[in-house]
Chains A and B, each alone.
Chain A
Amino acid sequence: QKEVEQNSGPLSVPEGAIASLNCTYSDRVSQSFFWYRQYSGKSPELIMSIYSNGDKEDGRFTAQLNKASQYVSLLIRDSQPSDSATYLCAVDRSNDYKLSFGAGTTVTVRA
């Protein structure tokens, strides 16, 4: 089992719709969870971090965490063509400096 798994995609959504990205992780003691956005040919950029169960909202982005289910998600509301990118889920490894990354989900927003 991979440490971090994401829905493989690609995910295509129309402009203005909600894009829903899912991530599960295997290390039950993980405490910190991150979403990175990576445009084609660019490096990953941190867009959200979440540490507690529940929802965290930042503009059009909402991260959701459920530690009991070992599940973290990212919702993109009112999707825009500029949101077209690969989204990487990252999970800390028991606070030993390192992160484990999922393979990413590619999102395409259709105008």
Chain B
Amino acid sequence: DVKVTQSSRYLVKRTGEKVFLECVQDMDHENMFWYRQDPGLGLRLIYFSYDVKMKEKGDIPEGYSVSREKKERFSLILESASTNQTSMYLCASKTGDKQYFGPGTRLTVT
């Protein structure tokens, strides 16, 4: 079974803080993704990576950056957290054309 883990299930941060969300997959997948999910808006792609040190912007990259130093780990960084970044963040790993999701991190920015 594919296993995708995320560092925290719940996180509360203050406005202006730098926030790191970690994602690890154990299946040697090349492609990894970060989404945010908001009610009524579905899943929106923030960034994705198709190889180590390779990254591309998704649909809503503003206010975010990513890091992929090792194949199994893909990190999402909020440079200066804002209240409109309060959301559920989902990491996914891909094999073939199927994406598998981690458990999600519920981030609240106050």
Known: A92-B97, A98-B33, A101-B44. 13 other contacts (CB 8 A): A4-B42, A34-B99, A42-B103, A43-B103, A44-B101, A46-B98, A46-B99, A46-B100, A88-B42, A97-B48, A98-B45, A101-B42, A104-B42
A interface residues with partner B (beta carbon < 8 Å): 4, 32, 34, 42-46, 49, 88, 90, 92, 97-99, 101-104
Shortest Cβ gap from A102 to chain B (Å): 6
In this assembly, does B43 line the interface, its C-beta being within 8 Å of a C-beta of chain A?
yes
Instruction: Please determine whether B42 and A103 come into contact, CB atoms closer than 8 angstroms.
Output: yes
A-B contact pairs, 7 of them (CB 8 A): A43-B101, A43-B104, A46-B99, A46-B100, A88-B42, A98-B48, A101-B44
Which single residue of chain A is at the shortest CB-CB distance from B106? A41
B interface residues with partner A (beta carbon < 8 Å): 31, 33, 40-45, 48, 50, 58, 90, 94, 97-104
State the CA gap A44–B98 with chains docked (Å): 12
The 10 closest A-B pairs by CB, nearest first: A103-B42, A43-B101, A101-B43, A101-B42, A32-B97, A43-B104, A44-B101, A43-B103, A97-B31, A43-B90
State the CA gap A45–B101 with chains docked (Å): 7
Chain B interface, DSSP helix/strand/loop, else mixed: strand
State the CA gap A21–B42 with chains docked (Å): 16
State the CA gap A102–B103 with chains docked (Å): 19
Indicate which residue in A4, A45, A97, A101 contacts B50 across the interface (CB closer than 8 Å). Answer: A97
Residues of A within 8 A of B103 (CB): 42-43
State the CA gap A102–B48 with chains docked (Å): 19
Instruction: Please determine whether A44 and B43 come into contact, CB atoms closer than 8 angstroms.
Output: yes
